[in-house]
Chains A and B, each alone.
Chain A
Amino acid sequence: MTIVIDRRVINGSKIDSELAEDMTKAGLDRIRSCIQCGTCTGSCPAGRRTAYRTRQLIRKALLGLREEVLSDPNLWLCSTCGTCTERCPRKIDVTEAILYLRNLSCEAGYMRPEHQGVSHKLIETGHAVPIDDEKWSKLREELGLDPLPPTVHSYPKAVKEIQHIIKKTGFDKLVNYKESKKDGET
């Protein structure tokens, strides 16, 4: 009986060697010292129950498989617990590397609708989790608190400040936020 082992061939045109360079420039300069030991994957509580493999993503990023990494839904299974970063024998900030790749993934247009929703709330109210139902104000009052907290919720000018920042960084465009008339009035 012959054992057939498939050889994985990476098409050269898919390789983007600048990805590792970009990561280095973004302050993740130790990334190139990765020895693929797998301590990150072995420490990962999300990887224990899903197909998310930290080591594999780092390897692919170093190889320059930009599109494959940025479009991988597994990139979004990290809970950012930071255990891999603490345990990496090469002192690579693995969690920051994952966050950096996620930034690039969003930029490339791979963003979950739920995550766009959270971002839209931040743009509209200044809170990612706002008081969007009267019941939360009632709950506050039952506990002897003011119906609205002394946050952006009590200061419309503060919401404008957040929106000012967001316009400047282009976050509204990144998360595909379109100002509706109703939102414009508030």
Chain B
Amino acid sequence: MVKHSYSFFLGCVIPNRLPQIEAATRLIAPKLDIELVEMKGASCCPAPGVIKSFDKATWLSITARNLALAEENGLDILVLCNGCYGTLIAGVDDLKDEETRKRVNKILKGTGHQFKGTITAKHLVEVLYNDIGKDAIEETVENPIDARFAIHIGCHLLKPSDIRPWGVVEDFTLVDELVETVGGTVVDYKLKDMCCGAGGGLRSAELEVSLDMVREKLEAMKEAKIDAMVNVCNFCHLQFDLGQMQVNKHFGTDYQIPVLYYTQLLGLAQGFTPKQMGLDKHFISVAPFLEKIGMSV
């Protein structure tokens, strides 16, 4: 089997707040013959909602440095966060323009890095679906997960669609299919395509508006009677898990919807323990979901 190697981009939230997602991804990767090569000294992507909102030139220069680190590895990037993906792929696109690249590389002079434009960034979903494939994933499943899931795709995985590889922006089914591959049943719910509300600097400066958005999604998920929600972005994950606790406190609700990042779900299906997937580290208890599938934390 061919080995699939990628420069592994961590970003900020995964290594520094939600390392359970990092741990889960590092464990499931070898089973799929994925090699994760470190991007030593990588920084914040930087975040498209905040830093790009403040100063595009700074945003693009720091993005170019991260891209250059991957280029020095000689490998395309594997990225787990929709926000980082949005930044890196927009960076790749902006830096196709020779004049822009020259200008940015001039700013990078003195850092020891230059970006030539020979690599790109791939989101986990693209790697799993296109590079690895559902059949190969299914072969690693030892313990099919028979439960009802709501999928939250997240905005920057899909938009802006003109610099994404999908060809669709609504009715995107790839994450649904990946969840079905491990045995899950995907349940439709109202507002599936809606934003979680974390991005654009809302979580940092407009928390109430941000929480009101995720509250609307949580209510729709509750109505759909699911066992857990699955996401493919750590910032959405944070918003659904920590944010759910904040919603309950702020709005006097009592949502108890377990939140799983896809690699955590895949890990359970591959036979890893809930503890190895870091499911005991969540803000909202995952226990009811685990009980349903005959496991415990």
Q: Which residues of A contact B (CB under 8 A)?
A: 45-46, 49-50, 76-83, 85-86, 93, 95, 99-100, 102-103, 106, 111-112, 114-115, 117-119, 122, 126-131, 136, 139-140, 142-145, 149-155, 157-158, 161-162, 164-166, 168-169, 171, 174-175
- What are 27 pairs between A and B in contact, CB < 8 Å? A46-B197, A49-B213, A78-B200, A79-B213, A82-B155, A83-B159, A86-B160, A95-B160, A112-B205, A114-B204, A114-B205, A118-B50, A129-B16, A136-B17, A143-B20, A143-B281, A149-B22, A150-B10, A151-B43, A161-B41, A161-B111, A165-B61, A165-B62, A166-B58, A169-B107, A174-B54, A174-B55
Contacts of A161 in B (CB 8 A): 41, 65, 111-113
A115 near B40: Cβ-Cβ < 8 Å: no
Contacts of A95 in B (CB 8 A): 159-160
Q: Complex Cα distance A162/B79, Å?
A: 20
Contacts of A102 in B (CB 8 A): 53-54
B159 near A77: Cβ-Cβ < 8 Å: no
Q: Smallest distance from the beta carbon of B272 to chain A beta carbons, Å?
A: 12
Contacts of A128 in B (CB 8 A): 12, 44, 46-47, 50-51
Q: Which residue of B lies closest to A87 (CB)?
A: B169
Contacts of A164 in B (CB 8 A): 110-111
Q: Smallest distance from the beta carbon of A185 to chain B beta carbons, Å?
A: 20
Contacts of B156 in A (CB 8 A): 80, 82
17 more contacts with CB within 8 A, not counting A77-B200, A86-B169, A136-B17, are A46-B202, A50-B209, A76-B200, A79-B199, A80-B199, A82-B159, A86-B159, A99-B52, A103-B56, A114-B201, A117-B204, A143-B281, A145-B23, A151-B43, A155-B41, A164-B110, A174-B58
How many cross-chain pairs have Cβ atoms below 8 Å apart between A and B? 205
Q: Smallest distance from the beta carbon of B203 to chain A beta carbons, Å?
A: 9
With A45-B195, A79-B195, A114-B205 as contacts: A151 and B19 at CB distance below 8 Å: no
7 closest A-B pairs by beta carbon, nearest first, are A158-B41, A82-B159, A149-B15, A81-B195, A155-B41, A129-B12, A126-B43
A149 near B43: Cβ-Cβ < 8 Å: no
B151: interface (CB < 8 Å):
no
B258: interface (CB < 8 Å):
no
A127 near B44: Cβ-Cβ < 8 Å: yes
Looking at the complex, which one of B46, B159, B201 makes contact with A115 (CB distance below 8 Å)? B201
Contacts of B187 in A (CB 8 A): none
B57: interface (CB < 8 Å):
yes
Q: Complex Cα distance A36/B92, Å?
A: 32
Q: Complex Cα distance A136/B12, Å?
A: 12
A103 near B20: Cβ-Cβ < 8 Å: no
B188: interface (CB < 8 Å):
no
Q: Smallest distance from the beta carbon of A40 to chain B beta carbons, Å?
A: 13
B183: interface (CB < 8 Å):
no
A162 near B16: Cβ-Cβ < 8 Å: no
B202 near A77: Cβ-Cβ < 8 Å: yes
Q: Complex Cα distance A140/B108, Å?
A: 32
Looking at the complex, which one of B15, B38, B55, B209 makes contact with A140 (CB distance below 8 Å)? B15
Looking at the complex, which one of B12, B52, B205, B213 makes contact with A46 (CB distance below 8 Å)? B213
